[in-house]
Structure 1
Amino acid sequence: MGTIKTRPRSSPRELPQISDRMSFVYLERCTVHRDASAITAEDAEGTTHIPSATIGTLLLGPGTRVTHQAMSVLGECGASVVWVGEHGVRYYAQGHGLTRSAALAEAHADRWANRRTRLDTARAMYRLRFPREDPAGLTRRQLLGREGDRLKECYRNEAKRTGVPWHGRHYTPGDFASGDPINQAITAAAQCMYGVAHAVSAAVGCIPALGFVHSGHAHSFILDLADLYKTEVAIPAAFDTVAEDDIDVGSRTRRALRNRIHQDRLLDRCVRDIFGLLLPDTAAAGAETATSLSTDSVKLRTDHDGEVPGGLNHGEDPIW
Structure 2
Amino acid sequence: MSAPSLGARAFSSPRELTRVGERLSFVYLERCVVHRDAHAITAEDAEGTTHIPSATIGTLLLGPGTRITHQAMSVLGECGAGVVWVGEEGVRYYAGGRALTRSSTLVEAQATAWANRRTRLSVARAMYRLRFPDEDPSGLTRHELLGREGTRVKACYRRESARTGVPWHGRHYTPGDFASGDAPNQAVTAAAQCMYGIAHAVVAALGCAPGLGFVHSGHELSFVLDIADLYKTEIGIPVAFDAAAEGTEDIGARTRRALRDAVNRTGLLDRCVSDIKGLLGADGVERTTCEGDKVTLQSDRGVEVDSGRNYDVEGQTW
Indicate whether the TM-score tops 0.5. Answer: yes
Q: What are the superposed Cα offsets for residues 107-126 of structure 1, whole Å, 9 maximum, x if unpaired?
A: 11110000000001101101
**2:61 aligned residue:** 58
Q: Give the Cα separation in 2 of the matches to 1:169 and 1:19.
A: 41
Kept in 2, the 8 Å contact 1:75–1:94? The answer is: no
Change (3 A) 1:9 1:175: farther
**1:299 aligned residue:** 296
Which runs of 5 or more structure 1 residues have no equivalent in the other structure?
1-7, 280-284
Q: Secondary structure at the match of 1:167?
A: coil
Kept in 1, the 8 Å contact 2:100–2:288? The answer is: no
Which amino acid is 2:73 matched to?
S
Change (3 A) 1:151 1:97: same
**2:86 aligned residue:** 82
Which runs of 5 or more structure 2 residues have no equivalent in the other structure?
1-9
Q: Secondary structure at the match of 2:297?
A: strand
Q: Give the Cα separation in 2 of the matches to 1:11 and 1:150.
A: 49
1:206 aligns with 2:203: no
1:14 aligns with 2:11: no
CA displacement at 1:257 relative to structure 2: 1.2
CA displacement at 1:172 relative to structure 2: 1.6
**1:152 aligned residue:** 154
Alignment of 1:189-200 (within 5 A): 189-200=191-202
**1:72 aligned residue:** 73
Which range moves more in the overlay, 128-137 or 310-319? 310-319
Which amino acid is 1:290 matched to?
E
Q: Give the Cα separation in 1 of the matches to 2:272 and 2:206.
A: 11
TM-score, length of structure 1 as denominator length: 0.80
Q: What are the superposed Cα offsets for residues 181-233 of structure 1, whole Å, 9 maximum, x if unpaired?
A: 22222112111111111121122221111000011111110000000001101
**1:142 aligned residue:** 144
**2:264 aligned residue:** 262
Q: Secondary structure at the match of 1:216?
A: coil
Q: How many residues align?
A: 299
Which amino acid is 1:307 matched to?
E
1:241 aligns with 2:236: no
Q: What are the superposed Cα offsets for residues 251-275 of structure 1, whole Å, 9 maximum, x if unpaired?
A: 2222211221111111221111111
Change (3 A) 1:20 1:128: farther
Select which of 199, 218, 231 maps to 1:229.
231
Root-mean-square deviation (CA), in Å? Answer: 3.3
Which range moves more in the overlay, 305-314 or 131-140? 305-314
**2:283 aligned residue:** 286
Select which of 211, 217, 220 maps to 1:218.
220
Q: Give the Cα separation in 2 of the matches to 1:254 and 1:23.
A: 17
**2:7 aligned residue:** none
Kept in 1, the 8 Å contact 2:92–2:198? The answer is: no
Kept in 2, the 8 Å contact 1:123–1:143? The answer is: yes
CA displacement at 1:54 relative to structure 2: 3.8
Which amino acid is 1:58 matched to?
L
CA displacement at 1:293 relative to structure 2: 4.8
Q: Give the Cα separation in 2 of the matches to 1:136 and 1:230.
A: 22
Kept in 1, the 8 Å contact 2:76–2:82? The answer is: yes
Which amino acid is 2:132 matched to?
F
Change (3 A) 1:189 1:142: same
1:179 aligns with 2:181: yes
Kept in 2, the 8 Å contact 1:234–1:257? The answer is: yes
Q: Give the Cα separation in 2 of the matches to 1:74 and 1:198.
A: 24
TM-score, length of structure 2 as denominator length: 0.80
Change (3 A) 1:49 1:273: same
Kept in 1, the 8 Å contact 2:106–2:280? The answer is: yes
Change (3 A) 1:131 1:19: farther
Q: Give the Cα separation in 1 of the matches to 2:75 and 2:234.
A: 30
Change (3 A) 1:228 1:243: same
Which range moves more in the overlay, 194-203 or 306-315? 306-315
Which amino acid is 1:81 matched to?
W
Change (3 A) 1:182 1:16: farther
Q: Give the Cα separation in 1 of the matches to 2:221 and 2:93.
A: 9
Q: Secondary structure at the match of 1:290?
A: coil
Alignment of 1:39-50 (within 5 A): 40=43, 42=45, 46=47, 49=50
